[in-house]
Amino acid sequence: MKRLERAKGKTLDTLADQVHEEVFEELDCLDCAGCCSHIPPMLNRTDISRIAKTLGMGTAQFQEEYLRMDEDGDMVMKTTPCPFLQEDNTCLIYEDRPKACRQYPHTDNMEFSQRMPLHKTNANHCPAVFHIVERLNAVIGG
Ligand code: SF4
Ligand code: SF4
């Protein structure tokens, strides 16, 4: 990560975007579900009302049943594994899943270099991030 931090900038972001595509072509999240199993996603207000509606619940009832406030004041899923993770590793509310779930692991939005501490943490939990960092190091780190 230190080598990559020294290589910060647009070149790293462009390369990370390409490597992200490569790694996710080879890796199937349905074989892993590590994030859904271990990292409670954050839900914004739009997520909460959308998912509550999908489940036929009021937002207050949904929050009471599924959410808690974390130490940063964000609403997150109350339990891990996520209550919507199914036995075959699919997501019960996939079409309506939280924005945070859609964006995880944050390696493909051309802002890779601005999230280095996050990648460092996620490389310990997400095999995709681990491989993305390894490949970037092989190209950039020398
Ligand atoms: S931890 Fe990473 S590789 Fe595993 S399911 Fe989540 S995004 Fe996919
Ligand atoms: S809402 Fe779906 S995608 Fe998000 S953590 Fe739960 S099971 Fe995974």
Number of alpha carbons in the 13 Å side-chain half-sphere of residue 100:
16
Rounded to the nearest whole angstrom, what is the distance from the C-alpha of residue 140 to the centroid of ligand 2?
Answer: 33
CA distance 41 to 35: 9
Closest residue by Cα to residue 87 from 28, 29, 42, 33: 33
Pocket of ligand 1 (CB under 6 A): 27, 29, 32-35, 104-105, 126-128
- What pLDDT digit, counting tens, does each position of 12-57 carry? 899 999 999 999 999 999 999 999 999 999 999 999 999 999 999 9
Rounded to the nearest whole angstrom, what is the distance from the C-alpha of residue 77 to the centroid of ligand 2?
Answer: 9
The atom of ligand 2 lying closest to the CA of 82 is 6
pTM more than 0.85: yes
- What pLDDT digit, counting tens, does each position of 107-139 carry? 997 789 989 999 999 999 999 999 999 999 998
- Strand-pair partners of 42: 76
Rounded to the nearest whole angstrom, what is the distance from the C-alpha of residue 82 to the centroid of ligand 2?
Answer: 6
Identify the nearest ligand to the CA of 90 by its number.
2
CA distance 58 to 139: 50
